[in-house]
Amino acid sequence: MIQYLTNNHVIVWQALQEHLYLALLPILFGFAIALPLGYLAVRFTWLYHPLINTFGVLYSIPSLALFVFLPVILGTKVLSPVNVVVALTIYTVALLARTVADGLRAVDPVVVQAATAMGYRRTRRLVDVELPIALPVILAGLRVATVSNISLVSVGSLIGIGGLGQLFTRGFQLFYLEPILIGVILSVVLAGIADLIIVLVQRAVTPWTRAA
Amino acid sequence: MNFSYLTDPAHWDPSNPGSIPNLILSHLGYTALALLIGAVIALPVGLYIGHTGKGSFIAINAGNAGRSLPTLGLLMLMVTLLGLGLLPVLIALTVLVIPPILTSAYAGMRNLDHRVVDAARGMGMRPWQVLSRVELPMALPIMLSGFRNAALQVVATATVAAAVGLGGLGRLLIDGLAVNDYSRVLAGAIVVAALAVLVDLFLALIQRLIVSPGLKGS
């Protein structure tokens, strides 16, 4: 395995970079879309169920099907990485919109009333009080989304998209174990590191959760 | 959009082994088999860990570890190790369903209201009765949501399994891409997506039917 790595480090390194980029871009987009959506679902309660159900259906669509279906809707080329990014963004939003809404709904109404009584207006109350309290729930959702995105990107190699999945298809075509094994290990390690980073960020930004 | 493959009656003829109904059947067959084997392995372990509290570490981390395993890599690894065929694919699919089933069985047992269990004991129920009449029914909603996750995961991965020579609906996607028959790819994507949604709805319905009405408070 070391031998394979030294001989192919350029390919492996490039695959790793593409993988990271294809997995994390959707997290950024997805988070940016899910925050307002989740908030709207809490603000207008009649929106909650339709929104959650719609995303529940989207989330259940298998990734390979979504990867090949999106070009029809978006007008992109089948081989375009945009399809993978959009598909993973959809999954991220599906997961996070729900956690954002559930996190905000779980904020103790007494705390919200106290903040209102102290003179917080709606927007500042949301940013300074409700979001921080909901943060542990939201970040737990973000961990799930990040880890599953990192493992899903590799399916994109079946439609010719880069990333660590390229090592799988390469190894499979040659019936050669090492690239597959390296790809699996790197993918799992990458997911573990990303997960750990979010945990550390969570510890840093929500110090009060450790006091309990 | 070209729906010609989907709407061609020849592709719906059950006597043709590669027709859509037959692909759906084989797809559901792999899914059911993997879920069955996975449940037989993971349910007792998850329930035991949840009931006794021994080995919680395994149950909590199994879920995360399972999510981080790249399904395609696992499939190709198994096939490269064991050769083409149903067995390596089934092993890979089973490995994928074990974590969500195990973790949810554990979580279901852990989140029980202990006062209810104490009350059941106080009423004179034997340990076996406590388990079968109180703990299991109360853990059921969480266990079933884990099972639904596992089912979705298998339906999706069974699609990917066509890339390593297995049948199922993934064949339409993989073969269609290989020969640039985009109409076939589209048919596959639509049928797979519909199947996944239907399987989830079906399991949601079962959940509604078998979960005790007393547990359905909002």
Does the beta-carbon distance from A68 to B173 stay under 8 Å? yes
Q: Which of residues 71-90 of B touch A (CB under 8 A)?
A: 71-74, 76-77, 79-81
Q: What is the 3-state secondary structure (H, E, C) of A152-181?
A: HHHHHHHHCCCCCHHHHHHHHHHCCHHHHH
Interface test with B, best of A19, A59, A64 (most B CBs within 10 A): A64
Identify whether A108 is part of a domain: yes
Q: Which CATH superfamily is domain B19-215 in?
A: MetI-like (1.10.3720.10)
Which CATH number does the domain housing residue A197 bear?
Answer: 1.10.3720.10
- d(CA B93, CA B91) in angstroms, rounded, equals 6
Identify whether A212 is part of a domain: no
ipTM of this predicted complex? 0.85
- Split at pLDDT 50, 70, 90, the class of A212 is low
Residues of B in contact with A155 (CB under 8 A): 71-72, 160
pLDDT digits (tens, 9 = 90+) for B68-77: 899 899 999 9
Structural domain boundaries, residue A121: 2-207
Identify whether A56 is part of a domain: yes
pLDDT digits (tens, 9 = 90+) for A60-110: 889 998 998 898 888 888 788 999 999 999 999 999 999 999 999 999 999
**Residues in chain B with pLDDT values less than 50:** 218
By C-alpha distance, the chain A residue nearest B195 is A61
- The vertex-B191 CA angle with B26 and B8, nearest 5°, equals 95
Identify whether A30 is part of a domain: yes
Contact predicate A147/A195, CB 8 Å: yes
By C-alpha distance, the chain A residue nearest B150 is A60
Contact predicate B105/A201, CB 8 Å: no
Q: Which of B1, B70, B189 is nearest residue A151 as measured by Cβ atoms?
A: B70
User: How many domains, in total, are found in chain A?
Assistant: 1
pLDDT digits (tens, 9 = 90+) for A109-156: 999 999 999 999 999 999 999 999 999 999 999 999 999 999 999 999
Domain residue spans of chain B: 19-215
H or E element, residue B3: none
Residues of A in contact with B199 (CB under 8 A): 60
- d(CA B171, CA B166) in angstroms, rounded, equals 8
Does the beta-carbon distance from B80 to A172 stay under 8 Å? yes
Contact predicate A175/B81, CB 8 Å: no
Confidence (pLDDT) at B218: 43
- d(CA A169, CA A126) in angstroms, rounded, equals 47
By C-alpha distance, the chain B residue nearest A146 is B68
Alpha-carbon distances of B208 from A92, B47, B58, B110, rounded to whole Å:
27, 21, 30, 22
